[in-house]
Structure 1
Amino acid sequence: MSDLQKPLLTFAAGYHLRAKPLCDGRVKMKNFELKAVAFEEDGRGHEEFLAGKYDTGEFSLANYLALKSRGEPLMAIPVFPNRKFRHSYIFVREDSPMKEPAQLKGKRVGIPGWLNTAGLWIRGILSDEYGVKAQDIHWIARRKAALNLSVPAGTRIDAVPGEGSLAARLLKDEFDAIIVPDFPEEDGVRRLFPDSKAVEQDFYRRTEIFPTSHAITFHKAYLEKHPSAAQEMFSACYEAKQLALRDDADATYSNFAWNRQVWEEQRAVMGRDPWKYGIKGNEKVLNTLMRYAGEQGLLDRKVTLDDLFVAIDEPQN
């Protein structure tokens, strides 16, 4: 099939190593003309995908779960390009006396919104690991949820847009702590967990959960017209990830002086490929996230892995 005959597939993802080979043309699709772009800001990129600017794209799993449970015509493939341990994304002021999760009880905690996946993970982990329930905290969201959610009875959430970043507002004493998806740029804040890396490594050793925030998602109409696009996109993303893993192991490729030592440490804790694509090997992390979504009122009805993901022929990770 010539390039002129191939169906166009427009795709958007974050600008990270796992997507760059798709954006720079090193990885191509056999039967589709892939037009891949990188978005610099997740929220805007997700909104553009949802509005139909792209056929497929990296999309928030919290939003995806909520929308799928309400019948939105979307379908994901089991590609998870954005994963982060989330204990290290709880911040307090440098002079705060708080150093452990139990001290968050009764406090004001700023969040982007209830549908943010980082917050979904952290609230679930606070409950499972530390006994801090959603009802124990006064949540202050920058924006009101776009969907009607059934949050747990007794949960207090106020939408207060405010001015400036959540970290800037934390420094002005609008909150006692914040939960954010990315690290603040402001001085004067610190992580709640003094040694968050050790806490996160212990969490992984005990649970084998590496939290995933995004999945590659299609508009269902595109897959109905081009059903083979799901498998081809999965294969292309898998190839791109393998290139990223190869680059990670090359100390010359990185700007970090101790890149190889970091690579060796991660491999000792998490194995050869923490960035598993496919359902196999991700059942626990996905089932945990679905449970958290149900407990925190995101779902309008129960959803299953079969509801959420196209069946894919998966390579061995």
Structure 2
Amino acid sequence: MQPLLLKTALKTYPHTRALKRGELTDPAVQLVFDEVEPIHNAFAPMARRQAYDVSELAIVTYLQAKAYGKPLILLPAVVAARFQQGCIIYNARRGKLDIDQLSGKKIGVRTYTQTTGMWVRAILSGTYGVPVEANEWITIEGAHLEEYADPSFVQRAAPGKQLLPMLRAGELDAAILGNDLPDEAGLEPLIPDAATADLAWYAAHRYVPINHVVVVTQALADAHPQAVRAVYDLLCRGKASVAAENAGKPDKLLFGYDALRAPLEETLAFCEEQGLLPRKLTVDEIFADSERILGDAGVEPPRTPPFHLFHSQKRI
């Protein structure tokens, strides 16, 4: 039998490199990679018209797609996660800005639905007492889901505007950036010692904020459930290939229903609080789509963070 060819959008990470090089294979499927850079350019086509059979997808985009009834199925596999508190910056050349001065300020973010923006807002509200509605949010793009309308406290910048020039010019008081964080003198993290603050958050919540997951189309799952099982197995093998180098570190690659349940419940709560979802979702509803296909293969014991990271810490 010839393997089933699957059009795939997946960024090259240490845990996906062997898969993308063809060093990890499965006789049932062949992943045909569409190299998309940056990877978020694949998200709208996948969410709106299912442009790929298999795709990496931002967690907020997936949750919105699920809520709007898009035929996508989440695999219990996180392929990108990161600590977020260093992702909000300000222009120190225009004066000092402390986090307790943030209310009422203009904060730029690529799009209000951006996953990094969701996490930063959740942390600002939950940890530092800065409500989402207390700020004016300035965006330069719309949501990946065309059905979504931004809340009233979100404003779109004029066409052609970009976040960093606006921040330099004083048109923004702060900005949230992810992989495109600049290394530029004068643009400083708003949250002092963000790395230590992130570890305190991790100690309380016991997971690294989820950025990207993997989804497949409903059409693929209906026609070729064995292919979906093969894809998930390949992803698991990719994670296993970097287990030694990640040993002793916070697990950024949560796999399996047990490991993902609590983080997804909290992620859903944050999205609801920020007006990102048109209807209430539950983790059971989300998992049901793939559980019938993966069965016991989707169960992986949750990895407990190193004890010293959360011992004697209060919930943040």
- Short-chain TM bin: 0.7 to 0.9
Task: Give the gaps of 5 or more residues in structure 2.
Answer: 304-316
Query: 2-side partners of 1:52 and 1:179: how far apart?
Result: 28
Q: Is the 8 A contact 1:22 1:36 kept in 2?
A: no
Q: Map 1:44-59; keep pairs closer than 5 Å.
A: 44-50=41-47, 51-59=49-57
Correspondence for 1:231: 229
Query: 2-side partners of 1:87 and 1:185: how far apart?
Result: 15
Correspondence for 2:10: 13
1:45 partner SS: helix
Q: How far 1:149 sits from its partner (Å)?
A: 3.8
Q: Are 2:122 and 1:124 aligned?
A: yes
Q: How far 1:12 sits from its partner (Å)?
A: 1.2
Aligned residues: 291
Query: 2-side partners of 1:149 and 1:79: how far apart?
Result: 28
Correspondence for 2:253: 275
Q: Is the 8 A contact 1:15 1:40 kept in 2?
A: no
Query: 1-side partners of 2:34 and 2:58: how far apart?
Result: 17
Q: How far 1:307 sits from its partner (Å)?
A: 2.5
1:87 partner SS: coil
Root mean square deviation of aligned Cα: 2.1
Q: Is the 8 A contact 1:139 1:156 kept in 2?
A: yes
Query: 2-side partners of 1:49 and 1:150: how far apart?
Result: 21
Q: Of 282, 307, 314, which residue of structure 2 is paired with 1:304? A: 282
Q: How far 1:294 sits from its partner (Å)?
A: 1.1
CA 1:98–1:230: 2 relative to 1, 3 Å: farther
Query: 1-side partners of 2:87 and 2:164: how far apart?
Result: 11
CA 1:229–1:304: 2 relative to 1, 3 Å: farther
CA 1:96–1:183: 2 relative to 1, 3 Å: farther
CA 1:38–1:306: 2 relative to 1, 3 Å: farther
Correspondence for 1:147: 147
Q: Is the 8 A contact 2:140 2:161 kept in 1?
A: no
CA 1:72–1:158: 2 relative to 1, 3 Å: same
Amino acid at match of 1:147: E
Q: Map 1:4-153; keep pairs closer than 5 Å.
A: 4=2, 6-50=3-47, 51-98=49-96, 100-145=98-143, 146-149=146-149, 151=151
Q: How far 1:84 sits from its partner (Å)?
A: 0.8
Q: Deviations over 1:172-193 (max 9, x none)?
A: 1110000112243362311112
Correspondence for 1:258: none
Q: Deviations over 1:44-103 (max 9, x none)?
A: 122343444320110111111112111111111011101011111001013354454322
Amino acid at match of 1:176: D
Query: 1-side partners of 2:121 and 2:225: how far apart?
Result: 36
Q: Map 1:288-303; keep pairs closer than 5 Å.
A: 288-303=266-281
Q: Is the 8 A contact 2:87 2:181 kept in 1?
A: no
Of 297-306 and 48-57, deviating more is 48-57
Correspondence for 2:167: 170
Amino acid at match of 1:292: F
Q: Is the 8 A contact 1:149 1:297 kept in 2?
A: no
Q: Is the 8 A contact 1:167 1:184 kept in 2?
A: no
Give the structure-1-normalised TM-score: 0.85
Query: 2-side partners of 1:221 and 1:196: how far apart?
Result: 43
Query: 1-side partners of 2:175 and 2:27: how far apart?
Result: 45
Give the structure-2-normalised TM-score: 0.85
Q: Is the 8 A contact 1:79 1:278 kept in 2?
A: yes
CA 1:28–1:137: 2 relative to 1, 3 Å: same
Query: Which has the larger share of helix?
Result: 2
Q: Are 2:178 and 1:181 aligned?
A: yes
Q: Map 1:174-253; keep pairs closer than 5 Å.
A: 174-185=171-182, 187=184, 188-246=186-244, 248=245
2:81 partner SS: coil
